[in-house]
Chains A and B, each alone.
Chain A
Amino acid sequence: GAVVSQHPSRVICKSGTSVKIECRSLDFQATTMFWYRQFPKQSLMLMATSNEGSKATYEQGVEKDKFLINHASLTLSTLTVTSAHPEDSSFYICSASTTSDRAFNNSPLHFGNGTRLTVT
């Protein structure tokens, strides 16, 4: 259980174009999904919290107009990197947790397989 699917796994795009990454919870409903970014040899950094049916909450320093997040259903969240630049090249990973009434805030996150974005 608790499978999170992310697509595509790898994408190469030209500078100035936009890229959309999809994150799906396959066997559970995720009211909240999280988007992380990981640069080489660095740790995962939370970019934003995606809430179903409402606007995403972005972490400090993350441009909301550049990284568009949509969470239209309980099983799908998308991240669109707009006007991508080489410095946006990174490993983008989504995550979600199964909601359990009592343990919700302490539930571990299950991660998608990640998307390797390369901007040329």
Chain B
Amino acid sequence: QKEVEQNSGPLSVPEGAIASLNCTYSDRGSQSFFWYRQYSGKSPELIMSIYSNGDKEDGRFTAQLNKASQYVSLLIRDSQPSDSATYLCAVNTGFQKLVFGTGTRLLVSP
């Protein structure tokens, strides 16, 4: 069973702080990793993709990948109340089949 694990949260951070979201995966052969943001009642929206070990930055978002540890993380700098949502970690297990974690609910308080 290929699994993706996330802490369900909620993760509460004050506005302006850094939010750190973590994800582990079981399939060592996975090659591509994605973070999606999902607002309540809406479909997922792609935030970041990462394919190589290390960090990848895009605006306030930084994705980190460590394939040896089978670990992916997402950092959100200068968190805003509008960032409050559920963040889904997704792992491509082959031919674009994505396995999703259960998501981490982020709450950013003003």
Contact = CB atoms under 8 A, between A and B. Distances in A.
Contacts of B95: 49, 105
B96 A44 contact: no
Interface residues of B, number: 24
Interface stretch (B56-64, B65-73, B99-107): B99-107
B31 interface: yes
B3 to A, nearest CB: 11
A108 B42 contact: no
Residue in A42, A44, A46, A113 whose Cβ sees the most chain B Cβ within 10 Å: A44
Residue in B45, B98, B101 whose Cβ sees the most chain A Cβ within 10 Å: B98
A113 B103 contact: no
Contacts of A42: 102
Interface of B: 31-32, 34, 36, 41-46, 49, 51, 88, 92, 94-103
Interface of A: 6, 32, 34, 42-46, 49, 91, 93, 97, 104-114, 116
14 contacts: A34-B96, A42-B102, A46-B98, A46-B99, A91-B41, A93-B44, A105-B31, A105-B94, A105-B96, A106-B31, A108-B32, A108-B46, A108-B49, A113-B42
